[in-house]
Chain A
């Protein structure tokens, strides 16, 4: 929001176009890997995860316009805090549940 221009939104087309091109590439590759069965399961899962993380960052930057210059600091802190909570809850749940699973099976 730029008070001097008087208009509450300043948006240009360029980031959205870069974003969609990157997003399409980052989507097409994992779909292609699954469609053609090009890799072993374990490797494919890792590649899919890596592409997903990169694509999330692309979406955050080019669609949601998150960056370290113009995004208010509180928004970044909230985002970082959410990431920590997500990591603890997803990581913790999987850890506990699969540990339990293996103890029950053995």
Chain B
């Protein structure tokens, strides 16, 4: 075993501890899924209430939604590559692929920010109608999660850089992975419930 892999060695007792932490984080993700489910239910109830203002057809762009989707899907895969590098205890590769994931996620946020800013500038802000309030709440909550995920990626890059691939750091990176892949699933539901039906 290499010295780097050695740092990740855990006793069965520690392994149990990390498994419990992962379970706790999983419970958080499930409760987060329920929050999103409520926002989706709200959106579906409100989607018809455009109050004479713009509807989904007027404000959504299929190209932008496709680009946002592609960025998030590829970022999930690049995070996977980082996880593979982590299991090989390859520190430079972990840092590289976390950085790529960060870049893709940041690209998503830039696109979404542009979308929101453009809509508000056109007078289609969250105060325009029930439909737009629900839209901004739902998609904005997802965007907020992705932003927090980006911050977390930066923190983990810092820990990998300065603390090395120790067992606690590795287990945190794996929980970050759960969070990141979970957000991708939420996005799948967003484009299937919000963008595609809105543009149909």
Contacts and interface: CB of A to CB of B under 8 A. Distances in A.
Interface of A: 1-3, 6-13, 15-17, 19-20, 23-24, 27, 30-31, 33-35, 41, 44-45, 48-49, 51-52, 55-56, 59-60, 63-64, 72, 74-75, 78-79, 81-82, 85-86, 89-90, 93-94, 97-98
A90 B40 contact: yes
Interface in B8-39: 8-12, 15, 18-19, 23, 26-27, 30-31, 33-34, 37-38
B188 interface: yes
Size range of the interface on B? 35 or more
Contact of A1 (B15, B42, B45): B15
A20 B62 contact: no
Contact of B181 (A27, A64, A85): A64
- Residue of B18, B81, B89, B188 with most chain A CB atoms under a 10 A cut-off: B188
Contacts, number: 154
A39 B142 CA distance: 29
A45 B34 contact: no
Contact of A56 (B34, B174, B185): B185
Contacts of B42: 93
B200 A6 contact: no
Interface in B157-200: 167, 170-171, 174, 178, 181-182, 184-185, 188-189, 191-193, 196-197, 199-200
